[in-house]
Structure 1
Amino acid sequence: MALSGVRREVPLPDGSRLPILTGVDLEVDAGEHVAVVGRSGSGKSTLLNILGLLDSPTGGAYLLDGEPTDRLRARRRSRLRGEVFGFVFQQFNLLPRRTAVENVAAPLLYASGRAYLTRTRAAREMLDRVGLGARADQVPERLSGGEQQRVAIARALVRRPRVVLADEPTGALDVETGARVMALLTEVTAETGAALVTITHDLSVAALADRRFTLEGGHLAPLDGDAHLLAATASRSGVDGPAVADPGWGPA
């Protein structure tokens, strides 16, 4: 994936345009973990949506496997979203009337052959990996926020995508559970050689990435330093530390 001079603007009622991204350059290689840190409203989710073909830039170029994405027809964009990307959304986006295992298996409904026939088993195995094997038959309203987040992560990983796009993957988790979730994301993407792009406000999560960037004022800039330096930077920059919401891996 390669972004070059990517801009994103949205029209306002008075006819003016609000700039969200103002010339973003970014390359992500297979097997690489990249983190983007920024405050709320900085455009992090917009950037992730563009990478995942959920949104289109106003200007600049986005190449996926060397192919300009602005030339993709709607059907091919949709197919690439399903084949290439696994999404971990900040709002979870779980199907409310489906069980955890049905939610995780949902992306495999569009698979073929063995992947389709073994979708339920694959979904249960992935739920086991995120510590929710015993909760597989519960609907989302019976799960805590942290458990719903782990279901969303299992859903993103079940198809072994080439790129995982994670929007605040530890936002609903306590520190220990968040660390285990990040370890799982790193482990599974390493197994398959997938790229991992993490959007986060948590500098300790960003410190786990191979490369780190800050997004502010629509500009993307490298963020250097180890975990200790990043933690110190958090208190100075106003970027939040880890959130605490879920008590652990077990049932709520």
Structure 2
Amino acid sequence: MAPVISLASVSRSVPLPDGQVLRILTGVDLHVEAGEHVAVVGRSGSGKSTLLNIVGLLDSPTTGEYLLDGKPVRGLSARRTARLRGQTFGFVFQQFNLLPGRTATENVASPLLYASGREFLRRGRIAREMLERVGLGGRLDTMPEKLSGGEQQRVALARSLVRRPRVLLADEPTGALDVDTGSAVMDVLEELVRSDGTTLVTITHDLSVAARADRQFRLDHGVLSEITADALAAATAHRETL
């Protein structure tokens, strides 16, 4: 069976006003199996978010090949790409991006407004069930501003998973949280994706978050390389940045 995500020699560059070219990613190879948790670590400006945007079909590589479930995505129409993105991916970001003036249930149900049939008709019930799964059954009608940071991130997790995506892309999911709250959110996230068999790709600068993944990669000046277990352990022990 083909990997869910397969990038081969992927690069991303953009032209600058002065005629030079900014190279963001260079020759990236990445293969992620179904149900696997992969973490990518790197400093700010290393190209992590660009890589995540390419994987999530929000951006396209300049060169190289991207296969999703063994099928190339290059050349798909904008409409087909958007449909494939909606069917395949869920997104979690550092900023919770909850809708103000909407309850936790309404926020989680919002992606189901674009569903059809029973999923659309049952959107409130589905949202409530998902909030129960992330431990917020007692906060269903609470507005975002009345929730703690950890609770807001759990609402964001529930919203990202409410349509049962096969791949969850998490960009600094604990970046706005303190250490203990971030660890608790990662516990919830990992339990959800494990129980549903969801593939998880986490972008982070936090080595303790990266260490929870099945495999870890370092992105440095647009070049992706796998981190050995010994290197990760040594860096974590000394609180270094890989």
Trace 1:95-134 onto structure 2 (pairs within 5 A).
95-134=99-138
Question: Number of residue pairs matched?
Answer: 237
Checking the alignment, whether the CA contact within 8 Å between 1:213 and 1:221 is kept in structure 2 is yes
* 1:155 alignment partner, one of 141, 155, 159: 159
Any idea what the Cα deviations from partners look like across 1:40-76, whole Å, max 9, x if unmatched? 1111111111100011111111111122111111111
* 2:209 alignment partner, one of 205, 211, 217: 205
Other-structure match for 1:141? 145
Structure 1 CA distance, aligned partners of 2:173 and 2:19? 36
Range 224-233 or range 76-85, more displaced: 224-233
- With structure 2 as the length reference, what TM-score do the two structures score? 0.90
* 1:32 alignment partner, one of 26, 33, 36: 36
Q: How far off is 1:230 after superposition?
A: 4.1
Other-structure match for 2:237? 232
Structure 2 CA distance, aligned partners of 1:132 and 1:229? 37
Task: Give 5+ residue unaligned stretches, structure 2.
Answer: none
Other-structure match for 2:75? 71
Checking the alignment, whether the CA contact within 8 Å between 2:153 and 2:185 is kept in structure 1 is no
Checking the alignment, whether the CA contact within 8 Å between 1:82 and 1:107 is kept in structure 2 is no
Structure 1 CA distance, aligned partners of 2:22 and 2:102? 38
- Partner AA of 2:31 in structure 1: E
* 2:170 alignment partner, one of 132, 157, 166: 166
- Partner AA of 2:49 in structure 1: S
Other-structure match for 1:182? 186
Structure 2 CA distance, aligned partners of 1:130 and 1:172? 18
- With structure 1 as the length reference, what TM-score do the two structures score? 0.87
Structure 2 CA distance, aligned partners of 1:60 and 1:199? 21
- Secondary structure of 1:120's counterpart equals helix
Structure 2 CA distance, aligned partners of 1:77 and 1:145? 33
Task: Give 5+ residue unaligned stretches, structure 1.
Answer: 240-252
- Partner AA of 1:28 in structure 2: V
Q: 1:202 to 1:75 in 2, by over 3 A?
A: same
